[in-house]
Amino acid sequence: MPQLVTVKVNRPDRRPIRVWVPVLPVVLVLFPVVVLVVLAAIVACVVFRIGVVRALGAAWRVISALPGARFDIEQGRSAVLVAIR
Amino acid sequence: MTEQRKDILDMLAAGKVTAEEAEQLIAALERDQAPAVAGHDARPKGKVKYLRVVVDANDNGEPSRVNVRVPLQLLRAGVRLAALIPPQALVKANASLSDSGVPIDLTQLKPEQLEALVEHLDEVTVEVDSPDATVRVFCE
């Protein structure tokens, strides 16, 4: 599971923004929202006749595989970096 | 099947060699071919973990760069997730793709084919060079 998401934004003539997001504390804070999202996903699976366990398992695999992903976009003096650890 | 292996099987069918001799010949052939195949693949197989997409472009004189690193495990997980898409959604997606001029039948894409594709991505290197942009897709 991802532990830390790093977001860096460089803008010309402005101070760069660096944000480190610890995933676990954020998930704990947003736990009620996470529960609602999971419930909505279960309802969607039932409506569209998709195996709930298979769908949740596949979604969990996607989340577990996120660490190591990195997206780095630069244009001129502007840049955005998103790194998941 | 290689030409040499076919020749050995033809000799076996014609009765020129026995089954044991054919087996020994094929084993010798595989021993000879193994180092040659390894020589082509300079990267250690099984070590690659990420798919990298690097785009260097020049937009109106302003250099731009896109550097994306995606874990191969994420692609495998995505394939499993994509396998859950219901057929009626695939039919709608096919219609939209066809309207956009991309006549691809997604219902013909099987999850095992996609998994096999991801498995062999480590052997893929794509490089596109144009005066304005360079695109490189590779695994590391």
Residue in A with minimal Cα distance to B53? A71
**pLDDT (0 to 100) of residue A84:** 94
Match 């660096």 to its residue by tokens.
A18
- Quick one: pLDDT at residue B46? 58
Residue in this structure with the two tokens 């709930």, named with its chain if needed: A52
Check CB contact of B69 with chain A, cutoff 8 Å: yes
Record: contact A74-B86, CB cut-off 8 A: no
Predicted local distance difference test score (pLDDT) of residue A18: 93
What is the structure's pLDDT at B34? Answer: 52
pLDDT, averaged in runs of 10, over chain B (140 residues): 72 78 74 51 63 89 90 87 84 90 82 80 85 90
Measured between beta carbons, the chain A residues lying within 8 angstroms of B118 are none
Report d(CA A38, CA B30) in Å as an integer.
52
Residue ranges in chain A whose pLDDT is less than 50: none
Q: How far apart are CA B49 and CA B69, in angstroms?
A: 10
* Residues contacting residue B48 through CB under 8 Å, at least 6 positions apart: B72, B121, B122, B139, B140
How far is residue B40's CA from residue B140's CA, in Å, rounded to a whole number?
16
Q: Is B68 on the interface with A (CB under 8 A)?
A: yes
Residue B52 contacts A where some CB pair is shorter than 8 Å: no
**Chain B residue at shortest CA distance from A53:** B84
Q: Is A82 on the interface with B (CB under 8 A)?
A: no
**What are the structural domain ranges in chain B?**
3-40, 50-80+108-139
Task: For chain A, positions 16-55, list CB contacts with chain B under 8 A.
Answer: 48-51, 54-55
Percent of chain A with pLDDT over 70: 100
- Helices and strands per DSSP (H, E), number in chain B: 5, 4
The 3-state DSSP composition of chain A as helix, strand, coil percent (nearest 5) reads 45, 30, 25
- CB of A84 within 8 Å of a chain B CB? The answer is no
ipTM confidence score: 0.82
What total number of domains does chain A contain? Answer: 1
Contacts across the A-B interface (CB distance below 8 Å)? 68
Q: A55, B84: Cβ pair inside 8 Å?
A: yes
Which range marks the domain in which residue A32 is found?
4-84
